[in-house]
Structures are given as C-alpha cells and as structure tokens.
C-alpha cells in the first residue's frame, strides 16, 4: 500500500490511502507476538499460486525449535494476523489483474 501511495498523483486518493494505513501504535507488551508472527511468516512459502497460510505443522515446528510455548490466545492472535495479511494481498489486487489502477 505504501508503494501505491508514492505512485498516486491524485491528492484526495493519496489522503484516503494514508488514512487507511493510520492506526494506533502497537502496545509494547505485544511486541513479542508481532515478532513471533514475522518469524513464522517469513519462513512460509507459497503453493505456486498464492501465499499459503501458517498451518499447524508450522506452529508445531516453530515452538519446538525456538523453545517457546504459545498460549491458545497467542496462537489465535497469530492466526488472525495471518488471515488479515492474506486477505490484504487479495484486496490489493483490486480488479484481479494484480496491478493497481491509478485514477
């Protein structure tokens, strides 16, 4: 989305995109969960057509090798983050062509 903001020539659209990206800061107490999500996500590939969601075997291998224990609510939060990320990828495609339209 940030690349889209840079390419947008229409000031009203740019302001709208910037508003969509505006959000409250992440609480410091949840920083570890965000880092855990990124560690998992960057090790997950695609199926050749699209990004694959983080799956149970990914969680299992991660916690065993990293020596971490995740509470059920932490796993749920990571799943929700991943679902949001994957939905944002399909939403960014707009018309299905994969390219953004700049009006």
What integer pLDDT is reported at residue 91 of this predicted model? Answer: 74
Q: What are phi and psi of 18, to 5 degrees?
A: -65, -35
- 22 versus 59: the higher-pLDDT residue is 59
- Tens digit of each residue's pLDDT (9 = 90 or more) over 19-57: 777 778 888 988 999 999 999 999 887 788 888 999 999
What is the 8-class DSSP label of residue 44?
-
Tell me, yes or no, whether 99 lies in a domain.
no
Tell me, yes or no, whether 51 lies in a domain.
yes
Q: How many whole angstroms separate alpha carbon 62 and alpha carbon 64?
A: 5
- 15 versus 41: the higher-pLDDT residue is 41
Intra-chain end-to-end CA distance of the chain, in Å:
15
Tell me, yes or no, whether 10 lies in a domain.
no
- 97 versus 92: the higher-pLDDT residue is 92
Tell me, yes or no, whether 78 lies in a domain.
yes
Tell me, yes or no, whether 11 lies in a domain.
no
Tell me, yes or no, whether 58 lies in a domain.
yes
Q: How many domains does the chain have?
A: 1
Q: Could you tell me the residue range of the domain that residue 51 belongs to?
A: 27-92
Tell me, yes or no, whether 48 lies in a domain.
yes
- List, as one string, the DSSP characters of 8-43: ---HHHHHHHHHHH--PPPPGGGHHHHHHHHHHHTT
pTM of the model: 0.66
Tell me, yes or no, whether 16 lies in a domain.
no
User: Is 40 in contact with 58 (CB distance < 8 Å)?
Assistant: yes
């Amino acid at each position: 989305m940030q690349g889209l903001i840079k390419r947008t020539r229409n000031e009203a659209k740019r302001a709208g995109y910037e508003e969509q990206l505006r959000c409250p800061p992440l609480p410091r107490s949840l920083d570890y969960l965000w880092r855990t999500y990124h560690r998992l996500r960057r090790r997950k590939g695609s199926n050749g057509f699209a990004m694959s969601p983080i799956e149970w075997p990914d969680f299992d291998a991660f916690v065993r090798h990293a020596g971490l224990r995740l509470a059920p609510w932490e796993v749920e939060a990571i799943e929700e983050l991943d679902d949001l990320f994957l939905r944002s990828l399909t939403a960014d495609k707009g018309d299905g062509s994969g390219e953004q339209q700049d009006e």
